[in-house]
A and B are shown apart, each in its own frame.
Chain A
Amino acid sequence: MLFRSFSRSVSVVLSFLLACAPILPLTRTAAEGFDAGMTPMAAVATPQVQWFSPRIVPLGPTTFEVHGRYFVAGATAKLNGVSMTTTFVSSSKLRVKSNFTESGSGNLTVVNPGTPPKTSSARLLEYGQGITVSISPSTATVMTGTQRQFTSTVNGTSNKTVYWYVDGGSSRGTITSKGLYKAPNTVPSGTVTIRAVAAVNSERSATASVTVQQGSTPTPTPTPMPTMTPTPMPTPMPTPSPSPSVVPTPSPSASPTPTVSPTPSPAPTIDPQTVAAARFLEQATFGPTTQSLAYVKQVGAQAYLEEQFNLPESVFPNGIASSQNEMIDQFFWHKLRGQDQVRQRVVYGLSEVIVISRNKNYYPNMLIPYVNILSRNAFGNYKDLLKEMTLDASMGNFLDMANSRKPGDGMGANENYPRELLQLFSIGLYRLNPDGSLVLDGAGKPIPTYNQNDIRQLALAFTGWTFNTPSGPPQNLNPNYYPGPMVPIPSQHDTSSKTFLGATLPANQTMQKDIDDAINIIFNHPNVGPFVATRMIRALVTSNPSPAYVARVSAAFDNNGSGVRGDMKSVIRAILLDPEARNDNPSNEFGRLRTPVQHHIALLRALGGDLLQPQLISYTYEAMGEGVLNAPSVFGHYSPMFRIPKQSTPLFGPEFQIHGPGELVNRGNLIWNWMNYYQTSNVWNLQPIFSLGNNHVACVNAVDDLLLYGRMSPALRQELLNALQTAQAVGADAKTKALTVLYVTAMSSEYMVAH
Chain B
Amino acid sequence: MNNNDFSRRDFLRLSLSAGMVAALGNVMPVSAAVAGDYKALVCIFLFGGNDGHNTIVPMAPSEYSSYLAKRGGLALTGNRLLPVTTTTGGQYAFNYGMPELQSLFQQGKVAVLANTGILNQPTTKQQYQQNAVPLPTQLFSHSDQIVQMQAGIPNASASSGWGGRIADLVQSANSNTTFPTSISFSGSSLYVAGQTVPATNLQPGNSLAQYAMGSGWPQAAVDARANAQKNVALLGSSNRIIAAADRIMSDTWKLNAILQGASGGTLSTVFPSTDLGNQLKEVARFINLRSQTGAGRQVFFCGLGGFDTHSGQDYQQWDLLRQVSQAVSSFYQATIEMGVADQVTSFTLSDFGRSLEPSGTGSDHGWGNHHLIIGGGVRGQQVYGSFPILNQNDSAYDQNAFADTRGVLLPTSSLAQYGSTLAKWFGATDAQMAGLFPEIDNFSVRDLGFMA
Interface residues of A (CB under 8 A from B): 12-13, 16-17, 19-24, 26-35, 38-39, 41, 43, 45, 357, 359-360, 399-400, 407, 410-412, 414-416, 419-420, 423, 429-430, 438, 446, 448, 451-452, 455, 543-544, 588-593, 622-623, 625, 627, 632-635, 639, 641-647, 650-651, 653, 656-665, 668-669, 672-673, 675-676, 713, 715-716, 719-720, 722-724, 726-727, 729-732, 736-737, 739-740, 743-744, 747-750, 752-753, 755
List the 8 closest pairs (A to B, CB-CB), nearest first: A28-B305, A660-B200, A34-B273, A727-B221, A452-B2, A749-B245, A732-B221, A633-B157
Q: List the A residue with the shortest CB-CB distance to B185.
A: A662
Contact A28 B47 (CB under 8 A): yes
Contact B16 A641 (CB under 8 A): yes
Q: Flag whether B66 is at the interface (Cβ < 8 A).
A: no
Bound-state CA distance A719–B224 (Å) is: 9
Q: List the A residue with the shortest CB-CB distance to B156.
A: A416
A416-B224 in contact given A31-B274, A657-B193 (Cβ < 8 Å): no
Contact A643 B231 (CB under 8 A): no
A28-B303 in contact given A627-B188, A662-B202, A749-B245 (Cβ < 8 Å): yes
User: Which residues of A sit under 8 angstroms from B233, Cβ to Cβ?
Assistant: 749
Contact A639 B215 (CB under 8 A): no
User: Which residues of A sit under 8 angstroms from B222, Cβ to Cβ?
Assistant: 736
Contact with A along B121-147 (1 / 0, CB 8 A): 000000001110000011001011011
User: Which residues of B sit under 8 angstroms from A722, Cβ to Cβ?
Assistant: 224, 227-228
Given contacts A24-B204, A716-B232, A731-B218, 20 further A-B contacts (CB under 8 A): A21-B203, A21-B206, A23-B206, A39-B273, A357-B143, A429-B8, A589-B239, A590-B241, A591-B242, A635-B158, A643-B196, A664-B249, A726-B223, A739-B225, A740-B225, A744-B225, A748-B232, A749-B233, A752-B245, A753-B239
CB distance from B139 to the nearest CB of A (A): 12
A672-B244 in contact given A715-B235, A719-B232 (Cβ < 8 Å): no
Task: Enumerate B142-176 residues with CB–CB distance to A below 8 Å.
Answer: 143-144, 146-147, 151, 155-159
Q: Which of A19, A38, A43, A452 contacts B215 (CB 8 A)?
A: A19
Contact B138 A448 (CB under 8 A): no
CB distance from B172 to the nearest CB of A (A): 12
Q: Flag whether B27 is at the interface (Cβ < 8 A).
A: no
30 pairs across A/B with beta carbons < 8 Å?
Answer: A24-B205, A30-B320, A39-B273, A411-B131, A446-B16, A452-B4, A590-B241, A622-B188, A632-B147, A641-B16, A642-B15, A650-B18, A659-B198, A661-B252, A663-B201, A665-B208, A665-B252, A669-B210, A672-B210, A676-B211, A715-B231, A720-B228, A723-B224, A726-B221, A726-B223, A730-B218, A747-B210, A749-B242, A750-B242, A752-B245
Contact B229 A644 (CB under 8 A): no
Q: Flag whether B216 is at the interface (Cβ < 8 A).
A: yes
User: Which residues of A sit under 8 angstroms from B320, Cβ to Cβ?
Assistant: 30
Q: Which of B13, B198, B235, B252 contacts A656 (CB 8 A)?
A: B198
Contact with A along B176-204 (1 / 0, CB 8 A): 01001001001111100100111111111
Contact A646 B239 (CB under 8 A): no
Q: List the B residue with the shortest CB-CB distance to A675.
A: B212
Bound-state CA distance A588–B237 (Å) is: 9
Contact with A along B237-254 (1 / 0, CB 8 A): 111111111111101100
Contact with A along B1-16 (1 / 0, CB 8 A): 0101100110011011
Contact B249 A30 (CB under 8 A): no
Contact A24 B220 (CB under 8 A): no
User: Which residues of B sit under 8 angstroms from A732, Cβ to Cβ?
Assistant: 218, 221
Q: List the B residue with the shortest CB-CB distance to A726.
A: B224
Contact A672 B187 (CB under 8 A): no
A662-B208 in contact given A593-B245, A645-B198, A657-B193 (Cβ < 8 Å): yes
Bound-state CA distance A221–B387 (Å) is: 74
Q: List the B residue with the shortest CB-CB distance to A587.
A: B239
Contact B188 A736 (CB under 8 A): no
Q: How large is the interface on B (under 10, 10 to 19, 20 to 34, 35 or more residues)?
A: 35 or more
A755-B225 in contact given A639-B15, A662-B201 (Cβ < 8 Å): no
Contact B157 A634 (CB under 8 A): yes
Bound-state CA distance A268–B178 (Å) is: 36
A27-B8 in contact given A12-B217, A722-B228 (Cβ < 8 Å): no
Bound-state CA distance A401–B131 (Å) is: 18
CB distance from B304 to the nearest CB of A (A): 6
Q: Which of A623, A650, A668, A755 contacts B201 (CB 8 A)?
A: A623
Q: Flag whether B306 is at the interface (Cβ < 8 A).
A: yes
A739-B200 in contact given A438-B16, A635-B157, A749-B249 (Cβ < 8 Å): no
Task: Enumerate B316-334 residues with CB–CB distance to A below 8 Å.
Answer: 319-320, 323
User: Which residues of B sit under 8 angstroms from A750, Cβ to Cβ?
Assistant: 237, 239, 242
Q: Flag whether B209 is at the interface (Cβ < 8 A).
A: yes
A420-B214 in contact given A665-B209, A719-B232 (Cβ < 8 Å): no
Contact B216 A16 (CB under 8 A): yes
Most B Cβ at <10 Å: residue of A661, A675, A676 = A661
User: Which residues of A sit under 8 angstroms from B252, Cβ to Cβ?
Assistant: 661, 664-665
User: Which residues of A sit under 8 angstroms from B16, Cβ to Cβ?
Assistant: 430, 438, 446, 641
Most A Cβ at <10 Å: residue of B186, B255, B275 = B275
Contact B212 A743 (CB under 8 A): yes
Q: Which of B5, B177, B209 contacts A646 (CB 8 A)?
A: B177
Q: Flag whether B21 is at the interface (Cβ < 8 A).
A: yes
Contact B211 A727 (CB under 8 A): no
CB distance from B71 to the nearest CB of A (A): 23
Bound-state CA distance A595–B214 (Å) is: 25
CB distance from B12 to the nearest CB of A (A): 5
Q: Flag whether B386 is at the interface (Cβ < 8 A).
A: no
CB distance from A133 to the nearest CB of B (A): 34
Contact B240 A651 (CB under 8 A): yes
Q: Which of A22, A661, A716, A736 contacts B251 (CB 8 A)?
A: A661
User: Which residues of B sit under 8 angstroms from A38, Cβ to Cβ?
Assistant: 205
User: Which residues of A sit under 8 angstroms from B242, Cβ to Cβ?
Assistant: 591, 749-750, 753, 755
Q: List the B residue with the shortest CB-CB distance to A9.
A: B217
Q: Flag whether B359 is at the interface (Cβ < 8 A).
A: no
Contact B12 A429 (CB under 8 A): yes
Q: Flag whether B432 is at the interface (Cβ < 8 A).
A: no
Contact A415 B137 (CB under 8 A): yes
User: Which residues of A sit under 8 angstroms from B12, Cβ to Cβ?
Assistant: 429, 641
User: Which residues of A sit under 8 angstroms from B155, Cβ to Cβ?
Assistant: 419
Q: Flag whether B106 is at the interface (Cβ < 8 A).
A: no
Contact B240 A589 (CB under 8 A): yes
A661-B200 in contact given A28-B305, A410-B129 (Cβ < 8 Å): yes
Contact B274 A34 (CB under 8 A): yes
CB distance from B439 to the nearest CB of A (A): 14
CB distance from A225 to the nearest CB of B (A): 41
Q: Flag whether B278 is at the interface (Cβ < 8 A).
A: yes
Bound-state CA distance A420–B146 (Å) is: 18
User: Which residues of B sit under 8 angstroms from A429, Cβ to Cβ?
Assistant: 8-9, 12
User: Which residues of A sit under 8 angstroms from B240, Cβ to Cβ?
Assistant: 588-589, 647, 651
Contact B156 A399 (CB under 8 A): yes
Contact B211 A420 (CB under 8 A): no
